[in-house]
Amino acid sequence: MSSIDTCPPPRELKPGTKPVDAEWLQWIAENRLRNCTPESMVITMAQSGLDPKACAIAIARMETDPAYLAARKIQQLQYKLESVMANQQKLWEMAPHYERVEKRSHVPLHEFMERYVWGSRPLVLTGVAADWPALKNWSPQDLKTRFGHLDVQIQAERSADPKYEQNKMNHQRKVRLADFVDQVLAGGATNDYYLTANNEALRRPEFAPLLKDIGTLHEVCNRDELPQRSSFWFGPAGTVTPLHHDTLMLMHTQIVGRKRWRFISPLDTPRLYNHYEVYSPIDLDAPDLHRYPDFKDVKVLEVIAEPGDTVFLPLGWWHQVRSLDVSLSFSYSNLAVPNQYSFKNPSIHNW
């Protein structure tokens, strides 16, 4: 963990608070565990209206607090795990062309398992969807013609919420698909609205014809599970799925338009400030290295998925995805290998 020179107070603590109360004591413990210097902490606390002398005393006392000392012991175990992950990541990065996401047309099952599933590497398969009717049939107008009378669930009003993905339940709206198609085609590039995998439309019999447009799958997939483990995505250029990791492996086939995928190894998780569930607050388009200094040496892999390309997302890999054009895509997690995993996710709201 990097040392931090300045420690802003949590948003929950109001400037002007006078006593070094329980909330401030927790803040002291948290920021000492983050290796903020006592000097910078006194400055921050004084700027919030506390007495500098009382602050210095409280910080000094924290160093002998039994609970704080216990936390320091647990932190040593955390640091060991982080160092193991960091060293393993260094080995991965020594591999030739580590930062290049391969694009391949044919990958036999045994090689796919060894190199990409067990080997945990992202991949773009360029030939899997060659016979899919979806590549010929799907378009915004096709959606409108065949399914425009149906209601679908989208995410809306995302632009005003920096945590729109974390708060996605608050952004759910039900709209007629025809109206949404018109909105996408007329609205230009925007991240304000998006029909994402959460729409669950493919579980509805009215949308079953879309599944008939899906042709050959890679042999690692179980075709029988496709209706239950697939989703389609539709939105304008400019939509962004922010940096996060999934809890399973999946395929994502681009049908219309292009998407830019950026990946980060799961071994870099300690440098991604993952304080809440499966999300990182870092925006790969504009990383704030002052606020997130540990991110500075993280290697980011990038690839553009073209129509017909199928992205394989390995387990736990972080990714941020941006639509470069009006986009229609199809994702599925029906791999015929164990694909249910448990992650012990944090739930810290105020860091």
CATH homologous superfamily of 97-332: Cupin (2.60.120.650)
- Residue 256's SS3 state is strand
> What CA–CA distance (Å, rounded) separates 43 from 8?
10
- pLDDT number for residue 4: 47
Q: What is the pLDDT of residues 42-90, one digit of tens each?
A: 999 999 999 999 999 999 999 999 999 999 999 999 999 999 999 999 9
Provide the b/e sequence for 125-156 (b: ≥16 CB within 10 Å): bbebbeebebbeebebebbbebbbeeebebbb
DSSP state of 228: G
How does residue 12 score in pLDDT terms, banded at 50, 70 and 90? low
Average pLDDT value for the chain = 94
**Token output for 273:** 């400030």
Strand order across the 301-305 sheet: 240-245, 318-323, 259-264, 301-305
Domain boundaries, the chain: 1-94, 97-332
**Token output for 51:** 């007495």
Report H helices in 19-108: 22-33, 38-47, 52-62, 66-94
CA distances from 2 to 34, 37, 228 (A): 8, 11, 44
259 neighbors 321 (Cβ within 8 angstroms): yes
